[in-house]
Amino acid sequence: MASKSLISAFLLIALAQAKDVKVHESGTLLQMNSVECGFDQKSAKSFAGELLGTDSEHRKTYQLLCQEYVLRSDRLDYHIRPRNEKHPVLLPVGGRVQFRMVKDKMRLRIEDLDDKEREYVVVSMIPRTDNNTKTTAAIDRK
């Protein structure tokens, strides 16, 4: 009787750990582009100028650029942007990465960098049409 409860306890622990298994896909970072992702406005007003009425309504507008990477996996090319736009980490182009999808975000890990998972937003996904994909599809059909 005690052995059955012990076995069922081990099975529950094994199932709980199996749920937390993180499956990563591999890919290569092909390129990084700077893309327009909005504008920032800075006013020429100061606190003292507001009180004295000497500041003008002049505003400076700056175009914001964001990093956008192309990540190639076995079947897809992903265009991704860092989720943390204030302090993005520059990734090594041409390097191998491991990634996984969690809900609508991609979590990317680079072993050679610092082995941390970082969140990225997937901007687009494009199916690969080169020879590597055709041979993989032919093998899958068999």
* Tens of pLDDT, residue by residue, the chain (142 residues): 556 665 666 655 665 555 555 678 999 999 999 888 877 777 656 665 566 665 556 677 777 888 999 999 999 999 999 987 777 888 889 989 999 999 889 999 987 888 889 999 999 999 998 865 444 444 444 4
Q: Which residues contact 57 (CB under 8 A, 6 or more apart)?
A: 44, 45
Whether the pTM exceeds 0.85: the reply is no
Q: Identify the CA nearest to 120 among candidates 63, 67, 64, 65.
A: 67
Find the Cα–Cα–Cα–Cα dihedral 48, 51, 54, 55, rounded to 10°: 70
